[in-house]
Amino acid sequence: MKIRSFLSALGASAVLLSGCALLQPPAPVVPLKDGELAIPADYKTWPKFLSEVQRPDAKQVREIYMNPVATQGTQAGGFPNGSVFVMENYAAKVDADGKALVGADGKLVKGNLLRVFLMGKNEGWGQSAPEGLKNGDWIYAGYLGNGDKAPEPASACRTCHMPLTQSKDFVHRYDEYFGKVASK
């Protein structure tokens, strides 16, 4: 009888302890800094934010992916914490005179992958950015087409995204994307 009581008490203790473990808050998100966001291996399986963005001024074509968390964003509320965008920059193919080639569809012809840029958002991210270059909780990272870290500092990304302000969640083509989503 004593063994049965002991085992019963031990089982109750185990249930209580496991319940306590379940009630503990989730581990805090470690704030990342610019340059610390790695290229996600599966990003090409993510939904497209925008596809074949034409930049004739830069002789580039851009493909922009967004992780599933970012798809929960709204025009009124912006993108939630956990959002990540990956932008591939491709050189446009050029002719012998350096003029960008245009396909039958009127779009630039995509050439080699030049760069991969990332922007990610989470609570406390970007807090180490210099004053005057803070873009909310967004951080940035850049990579060369071969996967090596890009030599350009993330301050170039921050400077480019600054004019968009909090009302556009510091995201280029914000209205274009949400206009496309609303029309579906």
pLDDT digits (tens, 9 = 90+) for 23-69: 666 666 678 999 999 999 999 999 999 999 999 999 999 999 999 99
Q: Tens digits of per-residue pLDDT, 74-90?
A: 999 999 999 999 999 99
Distance (Å) of CA 50 to CA 59, 137, 184: 17, 22, 14
Phi-psi category of 113—alpha, beta or left, where left has phi over 0 and alpha has psi -120 to 50? beta
Residue 152 has a pLDDT of 86
How are strands ordered across the β-sheet holding 60-66? Answer: 48-55, 60-66, 84-92, 110-121, 138-144
Q: Tens digits of per-residue pLDDT, 146-168?
A: 999 999 888 899 999 989 888 99
Residue 69 has a pLDDT of 98
pTM (two decimals): 0.81
Residues 154, 160: Cα–Cα separation, whole Å = 10
Tokens representing 13 are: 């203790």
Tokens representing 136 are: 């909310």
Contact 154, 138 (CB under 8 A): no
